[in-house]
C-alpha cells in the first residue's frame, strides 16, 4: 500500500511543472471534518486533518458544453484500501456554478452533495449540503 502511495506522489510531483490546473484548497464541514487538497492536472491528493483518511483522485471530464458538464472522478482511499466513483454534474450560470455529486462503489453508496461554487479570479468559494445533513464550506486557489 505505501509503495503505491509513494509512486503516485512521485508521478504527480514529476509532472508538476508540465500540467495546468495546479491548485490548493481547504474545506470544512459541520460534522467536524476538515480537508486539505492539492490538485495537479487530473490528479488530486486529499488529506483529512484528523489523519484518518488520505485519498488519491484521478478525474476526467467525459462530457462538456457551454453550460453543463459531467466529470467522473475515481478515488482511492489509502487507509481503507477501497476505490470509489463520484460523478459530478455541473451547471454553469453567469457568475456561479451549481453542482451535484454522489459517491459510490459497486456494493455501497455514500453521500450525495449539492454545492454552489463562486469563482473569483484565481479563487473559488463553495458552500453546500450533503445527504448526511452536513454543510460544507470551502476555498481553493489556482496556482497556475
Query: pLDDT value at position 72?
Result: 93
Q: For domain 2-142, say whether CATH 2.40.160 is its number.
A: yes
Picking from 90, 86, 97, 94, the residue whose alpha carbon sits closest to that of residue 68 is 90
Q: Which helix (H) or strand (E) holds 7?
A: helix 2-14
The residue with cell 487530473 is 42
Instruction: Report the C-alpha gap between 98 and 92 in whole angstroms.
Output: 6
Domain ranges of the chain: 2-142
Bridge partners of 73? 59
- Over the chain (144 residues), the average pLDDT of each successive run of 10 is 60 57 90 92 89 88 92 90 92 95 87 96 96 96 86
The predicted pLDDT at position 7 comes to 58
| pTM summary value | 0.80
pLDDT of residue 10: 62
Amino acid at each position: 500500500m505505501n509503495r503505491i502511495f509513494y509512486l503516485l506522489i512521485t508521478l504527480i510531483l514529476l509532472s508538476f511543472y508540465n500540467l495546468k490546473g495546479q491548485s490548493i484548497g481547504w474545506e470544512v464541514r459541520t460534522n467536524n471534518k476538515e480537508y486539505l487538497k492539492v490538485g495537479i492536472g487530473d490528479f488530486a491528493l486529499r488529506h483529512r486533518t484528523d489523519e484518518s483518511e488520505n485519498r488519491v483522485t484521478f478525474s476526467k471530464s467525459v462530457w462538456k458544453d457551454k453550460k453543463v458538464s459531467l466529470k467522473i472522478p475515481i478515488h482511492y482511499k489509502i487507509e481503507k484500501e477501497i476505490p470509489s466513483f463520484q460523478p459530478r454534474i455541473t451547471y454553469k450560470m453567469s457568475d456561479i456554478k451549481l453542482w451535484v455529486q454522489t459517491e459510490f462503489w459497486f456494493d455501497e453508496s455514500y453521500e450525495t452533495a449539492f454545492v454552489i461554487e463562486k469563482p473569483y479570479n484565481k479563487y473559488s468559494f463553495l458552500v453546500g449540503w450533503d445527504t448526511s445533513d452536513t454543510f460544507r464550506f470551502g476555498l481553493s486557489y489556482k496556482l497556475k
